Structure 1
Amino acid sequence: MSYRELATRPVLAWSAVMVTGRLPVAMAPLALVFLVRERPGGYTLGAVLAAAYVLGEILAAPVLGMRMNAGRARPQLVAGLAVGAAGFTGLGLAPDAHPVVLAALALLAGTGPAAVPGALRALLTSLVPERAVTQAMSAESVLTFGLWAAAPALTTGLALGVDPAVPLLLQGLLTGLSVAGLWLLPAGWSAEAQEKGASMRRALLRAWPVYVLGAAGLTLLALAELVLPALLEQRGIGIGWAGPLLAGFSIGSAVGAFVYGLRGSWPGPLAVQSLVLVLAVAAGVALAAVLPWTAAIAVALVAAGLLQAPASLTRNLALRQVLPPSALAAGYSVMYAAVGAGYAAGGSLAGGLLKVVAPSTAILWGVGLTVLLTVIGAAGERRLTRRAPDVAEREARTDVAPARSGG
C-alpha cells in the first residue's frame, strides 16, 4: 500500500487534529522560557516552568491512558485537550503572575492532554487496513518531526517579533481547534471488550522491555539537543551552527520515517530491527562527539536522525504485537511517559557531567547509558518473545483478549 492511498477523508481529518493538537506541545518548553526570560532570574524560572510542564506529561500519560475507553474515547479526549487549552491560555493571559501560579498552569497544560498522543495513534491505526499500519505510523512520524522542526522558529519569531505571551495564546487557540476537530473522527477505535484493572496492568507491565528501548532512544535525542551547543564551543565552532545542525537531525528523522514506511515490512523481527537501529543511532551520536569538523558532525547527526525515526517506529509497532487492541492507547501513553523519562534522564546526566568533564565526554557517557538501557530492553524483549505463546494460551483460557499479531 502506498502513501497516496492514505489520503482518505478520515485520515486527513485525523492529520488536522494531530497537527493542531501536537504543535502546541512542541512549542511549549521554549515558549515558557520566552514568557518569563525578562524577569529577574528569568531563564531559571523558565526552565522550572518547562520542567513542570514535562513532569505533568510524564506522570499523567500512563494514568490517563489506562482510564481511556477504547470504544468511546471522545469525551475523555475533549476534556484533556480543553484542560490543556485552559492552561496555555491562562499562561498567555497572566505572564506576570506569581511563579507558583505559572508553575501550576504549566503543570495543568502538560497534564490534561497527556494521554491524547497515545489515543490518537490508536485511532489512526483503526482508520486504515492492517496492511497499511506501518505506512500510517510512518506518516504520523513524518508529521511529528516536521512539527518539532518548525516549532522553535515559530515560537522564537512570535515571542521576539510580537510579544512573549503570543506563542502561549496561539497554543491555547490551536488546542481548542483540535477539540472541535474530534467530531470529524470516530468516537473510539475498538469494539472489543475493554480490559480493566489487573488485566490491563498485567498487559502493560508485560511490555516493559519495549518501554525501556523507547527510553534508550530518547536519551540519545536529549544528548544531541542539549549538549550540542557546548560541544560546538569545545570544538571552536560558532554556536550559531547548533540550530542548523539540529534542524538537519530533525529533517533526517522525517526522511527516515518516510523511507521506512515505503515498505510494508522490513527483514528481521521488530525486536532485532529496533536493537540494530538504536545502536546505530548511538554510534552516530558518538561520532558527532569525537569528530572535530563541522561538516563531519553534520553528517553524523543527519545519519543518526535518519535512523532515529525508524527506531521509534519499530517500538510502537512492537507494542501492537504484545498488547491487546483495547490496551493500545494505554500502552502508547506509557511509551510516551517512558520516552519523556528517557529524555529527562539523558539531559540530567549530561547536565551534571558538564560540570566535571568536557562536553564530548559527557555525550559518550550518555551513549554508554543508552547502550546499557538497550541491552536490558533487548534481553527482556527476548524473554518476552519466548513467553508470548504461553501467555496467549493462558489469556485465552481466562477470556482475556489475545495480543494482536499485526505489525
Structure 2
Amino acid sequence: MSYRDIASRRTLAWAVVAVGARMPVAMAPLAVVFLVRERDGGYALGAMLAAVYVVGEIAGAPLLGMRMRAERARPQLAVGLAVGAVGFAALGALPDAHAAVLALFAFVAGAAPAAAPGGLRALLNSLVPEKSVPQAMSAESVLIFLIWAVAPAAVTGLALGVAPGLPLLLAAVLMALSVAGLWLLPVGWQADESDRDGESMLRIMARAWPVYVTGAASLSLLALAELVLPALLEQRSISVGMAGPLLAGLAVGSAVGSFVYGLRSWPGRLRTQSLVLMLSVCGCLAVVALLPTAAWIAAGLAVAGVLQAGAMLTRNLTLREVLPPSALAAGYSVMYAAIGAGYAASGSLAGGLLSVTTPSAAILAGVGLSLVLTLVGALAEVRPGPRGGAPVPPLPETGAPPQTPLLKRRRG
C-alpha cells in the first residue's frame, strides 16, 4: 500500500473542492466572534452565533445526509454549498444587522452545507481502488487537520488587519468556488440501494450507534483539553500565551498521526485498534492534567493528537464495515453531527466544571467520561447477532480475511 496509489488528477481536483468546502467550516466559529466583538456585548453575541452555527451543522448533517442519493450526489452537494455560501456572504456583508438576523444567517451557513463532508468523503472513496481507501481517508484527515491549523491564523489576520467581515466574505467565495469545482468530479458514486433490503435509512443509521459514540468521545476528549488549556496553564503558573503553540503541536501531531496510519497495515481488528488508541489518548490527557511542566503538557498533547487521529480513522473505516454502500454518505454525515454534538457537549461540560473545580480535575473528569463512553461503544460493537447484508471484502487496512460485520444487519 502506498500514497502513490491514490495520486491522480481526479483526487487532486477532489482535494481542491474539499479545501473550498471545509475551510469556511474551520473559519466560521472564530470569524463570527471577530465579526461582532466591537458591538455591545460583542463577545457574548459572538459565542451565541458560533453556537447557533454548530447547532445548524448538527441538525443539517444527518437530515440532509440521509436524503443524499449516491448516484446523483452532485446536485445535492451543489445546492447545499451554494446556500451555505449565501449564508456566509450575508453574515460578512451585514455585521450590524439585528442579532436574530445574524443568528438566522449563521444557522443557514452551518446547516445547508453540513452534508458536504460526508458526501465528499464517500465520493473520495469511489475515486480510488478499494485497497487504497485507508490511504485516501488518511490523506483526507491530514488535509482537514492542516485546514484547521491554517484557519485561525487566517481569520485573525484578516479580521484584525483588514476588516471584521472579510473572513466570512472569503469563506463565502471559497464555498462558491467549491460548487464550481464539483463539475470536475463524477456526478456521484455507484451504490445499489437494494443492499438495504428495504430497510429505512433511519434504522440503518441507528444500528451503527456504537461507532458514533466512540467517534464523538474521541474528539470531545481533545476538545475538552483545548477548552480547558488556558485555565490549566494559569493553574500551573505557565504563560497563557503558550496555549497557541501547544495547540499547534496538537494539530501537527494529528496530521502526522493521520499520515502514519495510512503508511502500512496495522495488526488487529478495527474495533481493537480503536479501543487501544482511545485508551492511550485518555492516558496522554491524564498526563497533561497531572504533570506540572509545559514540556510534559506539550508532549502529552502532541502524542494525544497522533493517537486521536488514528482513533478517528478507525471509526470512519468501521462505518464501511457496518453500513451498506448506499448508506455510507449518510453514515459519514451522522458521524459528523455526532462529533459536533460531542464538541458542543465538551464546551458545556468544561464551563460547568471550571466553575466548581480546578482545571486539572475538569480534564480528569472528562477523561473519565470518555472512558465510560469508549467502553460502552466497544462492548456494544461485539454484541452477537444474525448475519446479513452484503459480503464484506478483506480489510485492506489490517490484511485480515473477511469477517462478519461487528454490527449485524437485520432483515425485515
TM tier relative to shorter chain: over 0.9
Does structure 1 residue 32 correspond to structure 2 residue 32? yes
User: What secondary structure is seen at the aligned counterpart in 2 of 1:71?
Assistant: helix
Cα distance between partner residues in 2 of 1:52 and 1:404: 41
Structure 1, unaligned runs of 5 or more: 396-400
Provide the rounded CA distance (Å) in 2 between the counterparts of 1:337 and 1:117: 10
Superposition deviation, residue 379 in structure 1 = 0.7
Report the equivalent of 1:398: none
Q: Does the 8 A contact of 2:201 with 2:327 survive in 1?
A: yes
CA contact (8 A) 1:253 1:309 kept: yes
Structure-2 separation of matches of 1:367 and 1:42: 33
> Which segment drifts farther, 346-355 or 171-180?
346-355
Shift of 1:202: 2.3
Relative to structure 1, the CA distance from residue 196 to residue 153 in structure 2 (aligned partners, 3 Å threshold; closer, same or farther) is: farther
Q: Are 1:324 and 1:402, in contact at CA under 8 Å, matched by a contact in 2? A: no
* Residue 248 of structure 1: aligned partner: 249
Corresponding residue SS for 1:92: helix
Output the amino acid matched with 1:9: R
Query: 1:379 maps to which residue?
Result: 379
Whole-Å separation in 2 of the counterparts to 1:62 and 1:156: 31
Match of 1:172 in 2: 172
Q: Which has the larger displacement, 221-230 or 317-326?
A: 221-230
Alignment match, 2:330: 330
Contact 1:325–1:403 (8 Å) recurs in 2? no
Aligned to 1:215: 216
Partner SS, residue 74 of structure 1:
helix
Partner of 2:225: 224
Q: State whether residues 273 and 311 of structure 1, in contact with CA within 8 Å, keep that contact through their aligned partners in structure 2.
A: yes
Aligned to 1:23: 23
Gaps of 5+ in 2: 397-412
For 1:347 and 1:46, how far apart are their aligned partners in 2? 15
**Preserved contact between residue 130 and residue 406 of structure 1 (Cα < 8 Å):** no
Letter in 2 for 1:100: A
**Which residue matches 2:131?**
131
Which residue of structure 1 lines up, in the alignment, with residue 403 of structure 2?
none
Partner residue of 1:314? Answer: 314
- Cα deviation per residue 1:89-112 (whole Å; 9 max; x = unaligned)? 000000000000000000000000
Q: Aligned partners of 1:365, 1:183: CA distance in 2, in Å?
A: 47
Q: How far has the Cα of 1:4 moved from its partner?
A: 2.2
Deviations 1:327-367 (A, max 9, x none): 00000001001111111112211110100101111111111
Per-residue CA distance 1:190-239 (angstroms, 9 max, x = gap): 24226597432222111111000001101112112111011101111101
Find the aligned partners of 1:208 and 1:2 in 2 and give their Cα distance: 32
SS of 2:200's equivalent in the other structure is helix
Whole-angstrom distance in 2 between the partners of 1:199 and 1:97 = 42
CA separation in 1, counterparts of 2:80 and 2:374? 33
The alignment partner of 1:227 has SS state of helix
Counterpart in the other structure of 1:84: 84
Structure 1 vs Structure 2: percent identity of aligned residues?
Answer: 67
| Structure 2 equivalent of residue 275 of structure 1 | 275
SS for the counterpart of 1:100 is helix
Aligned 1:2-401 pairs, distance under 5 A: 2-193=2-193, 195=196, 198-263=199-264, 265-383=265-383, 386-387=384-385, 390-392=386-388, 395=389, 401=390
- CA separation in 2, counterparts of 1:229 and 1:65? 36
Cα 1:197–1:23 change in 2 (3 A) is farther
**Which 4+ runs in 1 deviate beyond 6 A?**
none
Deviation per residue, 1:247-301 (Å, 9 max, x gap): 00000000000000001x3100000100110111111111111111011110110
The letter for the 2-side match of 1:357 is: T
8 Å CA contact 1:320–1:403 kept in 2: the answer is no
Quote the Cα distance in structure 2 between the aligned partners of 1:404 and 1:92: 48
How many residue pairs match? The answer is 395
Instruction: Work out the CA distance in 2 between the residues paired with 1:176 and 1:219.
Output: 30
Cα distance change, pair 237–32 in 1 and its aligned pair in 2 (3 A): same
Return the alpha-carbon distance in structure 2 between the equivalents of residues 167 and 24 of structure 1.
9
SS in 2 for 1:180: helix
Q: CA RMSD in A?
A: 1.3
Note closer, same or farther for the CA distance 1:404–1:204 as it changes in structure 2 (3 Å cut).
farther
**Cα deviation 1:59-105 (Å, max 9, x = unaligned):** 11111111000110011000000111000000000000000000000
1:189 Cα deviation from its structure 2 partner: 1.2
How many Å separate the matches in 1 of 2:304 and 2:42?
34
Amino acid at match of 2:310: P
Aligned to 1:274, the other structure's residue is in SS state helix
Aligned residues of 1:323 and 1:404 also touching (Cα < 8 A) = no
Matched to 2:354, the amino acid is L
- In the aligned structure 2, how far is the partner of 1:18 from the partner of 1:184? 12
Instruction: Determine the C-alpha separation between the residues in 2 that align with 1:275 and 1:197.
Output: 33
Secondary structure, counterpart of 1:73 in structure 2: helix
Distance apart, 1:5 and its partner CA: 2.7
Distance in 2, matches of 1:6 and 1:319, equals: 20
Contact 1:77 1:116 in 2 (8 A): yes
Give the secondary structure class of the aligned counterpart of 1:154: helix
Q: Structure 2: how far apart are the matches of 1:204 and 1:289?
A: 36
TM-score (norm 1): 0.95
Cα distance change on mapping 1:43 and 1:15 into 2, 3 Å = same
Asked if structure 2 preserves the Cα contact closer than 8 Å seen for 1:231 and 1:359, the reply is: yes
